[in-house]
Amino acid sequence: MLERGSRIRRLVEGTALVGACALSVLVARPAEACGVPESGLTSSVPEDGAIYPGNAALLFDGWGIGLDGITVTVDGEPAELLPAAFDDFVADLAVVVEPTPMAGQTVVVSGSFCPDEGCEPVTITYTAGPEDVEAPQPLVEESFFAVYDHADFMSSGGDCMSDSDLTLYVHLSQAIPAPGEPSLFTIAWDPDGEGDLGFRRTVRVPTGAKVAPLSLVTEQLGGKDPRTEVCLEVTAFDAAGNAANTFELCPACFAREDALPRETETPPEPDWTEADGVPGSPCAGEQPLTTGEEPTGTDTSSGGDSSSESSSDSVSDTDSGGATGGEDGDKGCACSTHGGDPGDAGRFLLFVLGLGLALVKRRS
């Protein structure tokens, strides 16, 4: 009898051990921190060696950067970097060279953008080109937006993402700008005129086309139907301050709704079909359309948004009004938690673990 009891005891102990090991895999565990980016300059417009309009603003992006350790010269003579007069946030640092360089002069920007953090000095040398006096040329008839009412995504609060209930994919087209001279597009919608609702975002478009995804929560819509009651105001301008006429995009061209689970705030853009055409829009009854553009910084394993506002372009875009999407998450995030409910199997193993420990204690 004692031998049999001993065997039962060993069996229960073994089962409890297996259950404990299995639970260590099944239960949700904290993931690695999403991380604070390393301080330093990540990109600049113009790039080193470029020819760039003398009257255009210089755009610098990075983490923890400033101008205290930066100097600028024009043909070897000291100059100044002054804030550019933009109404919209277009870069982490947007500055103009004063006095304005003349065509053919050499401009040298040098120093450390974050000396207190030990960032290595950089040198950006470019040649001033003729002044830019022409505004970008948006192709209004080729621009549109689509609405994807996907499953709601809720941030854990530490995953460097934001809540998202739906995503607008804004397709922007323009005459191709000069190399190294990206256009900037501001996309805005302010239904009450007070800025409490809606959104506003500025994106860079260095080529002839770009898809800018804007992930939103339903509260930003103020009860409006995004398919038929949202009119986007779009303004194209450049780093020299030349702006094209503002134009409107409405209603949406395509719309789709589904409840497929999502693991990111900005899912891939669907491949739109004729069935997705919004009645009354130019896309109703048109041939199937695909974006042909893949975003950076989004999870493409869950299916379709290939058009992130961070499309395949290397330059980050800026957000000044509650719309999220694209490659830039909130800076300074701590950590994220991944993993789901351990499910029935986990609860069963937990029960076995408790039973085993109770029997062991009783017999000891």
Same domain, 173 and 57: no
Same domain, 114 and 145: no
Same domain, 191 and 303: yes
Q: How far apart are CA 206 and CA 317, in angstroms?
A: 11
Q: Residue 336 falls within a domain, yes or no?
A: yes
Question: Cα–Cα distances in Å, from 349 out to 112, 155, 356?
Answer: 57, 29, 10
Average pLDDT, the chain: 78
Q: Residue 199 falls within a domain, yes or no?
A: yes
Question: Cα–Cα distances in Å, from 215 out to 63, 64, 101, 178, 342?
Answer: 23, 26, 40, 30, 30
Same domain, 317 and 196: yes
Give the burial string for 148-175 (b: 16+ CB within 10 Å, else e).
Answer: bbbeebebeeebbbbbbbbbbbbbbbbe
**In this model, does residue 2 exceed pLDDT 60?**
no
Q: Which domain holds residue 187?
A: 133-364
pLDDT digits (tens, 9 = 90+) for 305-357: 333 333 333 334 555 455 555 443 333 333 333 333 444 444 444 444 454 44
| Predicted pLDDT at 34 | 67
Q: Tell me the pTM.
A: 0.71
Q: Residue 151 falls within a domain, yes or no?
A: yes
Tokens 């974050």 belong to which residue? 114
Q: Residue 11 falls within a domain, yes or no?
A: no
pLDDT digits (tens, 9 = 90+) for 110-144: 999 999 999 999 999 999 999 999 999 999 999 99
Alpha helices by DSSP H, listed for the chain, are: 2-26, 343-363
Same domain, 115 and 141: no
pLDDT digits (tens, 9 = 90+) for 51-109: 999 999 999 999 999 999 999 999 999 999 999 999 888 999 999 999 999 999 999 99
pLDDT digits (tens, 9 = 90+) for 237-294: 999 999 999 999 999 999 999 988 878 888 999 999 999 999 999 998 754 444 434 3
Question: Cβ-count burial of 245 within 10 angstroms (0-12 exposed, 13-18 middle, 19+ buried)?
Answer: exposed
Same domain, 275 and 185: yes
- 29-30 and 337-338 as β-strands: parallel, antiparallel, unpaired? antiparallel
> Which one-letter DSSP state was computed for residue 49?
T
Same domain, 150 and 116: no
Question: Domains in the chain: how many in total?
Answer: 2
Q: Reduced to 3 states, what is the DSSP secondary structure of residue 64?
A: coil
CATH of the domain at 94: 2.60.40.1220
Q: Reduced to 3 states, what is the DSSP secondary structure of residue 18?
A: helix
